[in-house]
């Protein structure tokens, strides 16, 4: 297994072999995280910048802890208290931080393409932590890791992604990753949020919720991305919840071993009932746990690591 990329900008450009290298490296780092001493010196002397220009709980904390577990120094860029507020551009901000000898930039930004833009002029590695509605590569990698860990495989599984697909970077990255790994992906939600154009990405589109979840091995729920919707896409949250929310009644129409996933943050009572979110079929918090191992793997690989064979046993 080998990895030769300096950046992780998206899933679209990765091969199945590269995705598998990340997943196998993450498996090795998950084992490291289960030891008494959870730190390794893989990034000792390196500096990681957490450049989050958009809110985040899971991804920001996960990347910070991943960098610390690899013994890197970490700058958590305070976007709200930074000179961005005085009109400094993203490019100037990044170049000034790079002048502090930063080695890896992790960027979350509301603009699609912001990580690709940084990668054009920085010497440092760039990792996409979510860019607008474009991609969220490490979310898709941790989702794939979780599916493989729980089900033993991805190829041939039926995965239904339910909700606001149009504005979801998680959906796009998941579609790329899961179809490359051989899963059958179905998309479902209101027609305004699930355009048939997504069929061109190799997945099935349906507006019939019961049919979409009936034979799914995995049901991945997405919240409504209000922050990215520029107009009203459906009459109201109440109507959305009644037509597309995963309720206990609807859960009875699914396979008994179907896993319930959600990237978070969850909106209880809208896309998912609380009892399901906290129930035994939910792997939502395991996704968060696995995100740490996946992000350790990504930081290790973009810093020149080749694959799991280099992670100390
Ligand atoms: N899943 C996810 O990206 O969550 P955060 O926005 O909290 O990072």
Q: Which residues pair with 157 in a beta bridge?
A: none
Q: For 161-186, what is each residue's pLDDT tens digit?
A: 999 999 999 999 999 999 999 999 99
- Ligand 1 pocket check for 291: Cβ under 6 Å: no
pLDDT at 210: 96
Q: How far is CA 151 from CA 47, 217, 302, in A?
A: 36, 9, 28
Q: How far is CA 104 from CA 43, 97, 260, in A?
A: 10, 10, 33
User: How many CA atoms within 13 Å lie on the side-chain side of 145?
Assistant: 30
Q: For 29-46, what is each residue's pLDDT tens digit?
A: 999 999 999 999 999 999
pLDDT at 235: 73
Element (H, E) at 21: helix 16-33
Ligand 1 pocket: which of 54, 55, 59 to mutate (most atoms within 8 A of CB): 59
- Ligand 1 pocket check for 309: Cβ under 6 Å: no
Ligand 1 pocket: which of 53, 54, 56 to mutate (most atoms within 8 A of CB): 56
pLDDT at 227: 74
Whole-angstrom distance, CA of residue 52 vs CA of residue 110: 10
Ligand 1 pocket: which of 54, 55, 57, 128 to mutate (most atoms within 8 A of CB): 57
The ligand 1 atom at the shortest distance from the C-alpha of residue 57 is 7
pLDDT at 238: 85
Give the list of residues 6+ apart from residue 253 with CB closer than 8 angstroms, or none. 210, 213, 214
pLDDT at 230: 60
- Ligand 1 pocket check for 57: Cβ under 6 Å: yes
- Ligand 1 pocket check for 130: Cβ under 6 Å: yes
Which residue is associated with the tokens 């930004």? 109
For the chain, list the strands marked E by DSSP.
Answer: 47-52, 73-76, 104-109, 125-131, 158-162, 184-188, 204-206, 218-221, 259-261
Whole-angstrom distance, CA of residue 294 vs CA of residue 222: 21
pLDDT < 70 positions in the chain = 228-232, 313
Distance of CA 204 to the CA centre of its chain: 21
Q: Are 3 and 306 in contact (CB under 8 A)?
A: yes
For 26-136, list the strands marked E by DSSP.
Answer: 47-52, 73-76, 104-109, 125-131
């Amino acid at each position: 297994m080998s990895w030769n990329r300096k950046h992780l900008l998206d899933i679209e450009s990765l091969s199945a072999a590269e995705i598998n290298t990340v997943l196998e490296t993450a498996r090795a780092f998950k084992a490291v995280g289960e030891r008494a001493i959870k730190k390794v010196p893989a990034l000792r002397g390196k500096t990681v910048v957490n450049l989050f220009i958009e809110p985040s709980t899971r991804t920001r904390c996960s990347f910070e802890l991943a960098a610390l577990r690899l013994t890197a120094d970490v700058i958590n860029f305070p976007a709200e208290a930074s000179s961005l507020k005085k009109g400094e551009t993203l490019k100037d901000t990044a170049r000034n931080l790079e002048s502090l000898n930063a080695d890896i930039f992790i960027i979350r930004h509301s603009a699609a393409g912001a990580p690709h833009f940084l990668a054009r002029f920085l010497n440092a590695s760039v990792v996409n932590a979510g860019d607008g509605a474009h991609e969220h590569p490490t979310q898709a990698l941790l989702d794939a890791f979780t599916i493989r860990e729980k089900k033993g495989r991805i190829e041939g599984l039926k995965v239904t992604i339910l909700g606001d697909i149009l504005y979801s970077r998680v959906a796009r990255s998941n579609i790329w990753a899961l179809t490359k790994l051989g899963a059958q992906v179905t998309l479902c939600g209101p027609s305004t949020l699930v355009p048939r154009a997504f069929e061109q990405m190799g997945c099935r589109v349906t507006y019939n919720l019961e049919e979409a979840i009936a034979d799914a091995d995995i049901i991945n729920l997405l919240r409504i991305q209000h922050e990215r919707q520029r107009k009203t896409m459906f009459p109201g949250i109440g109507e959305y919840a009644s037509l597309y929310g995963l309720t206990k009644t609807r859960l009875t129409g699914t396979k008994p071993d179907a896993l319930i996933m959600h990237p978070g943050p969850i909106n209880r009572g809208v896309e998912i009932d609380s009892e399901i979110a906290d129930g035994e079929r939910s792997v939502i918090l395991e996704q968060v746990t696995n995100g740490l191992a996946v992000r350790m793997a990504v930081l290790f690989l973009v810093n020149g690591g080749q694959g799991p064979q280099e992670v100390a046993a």
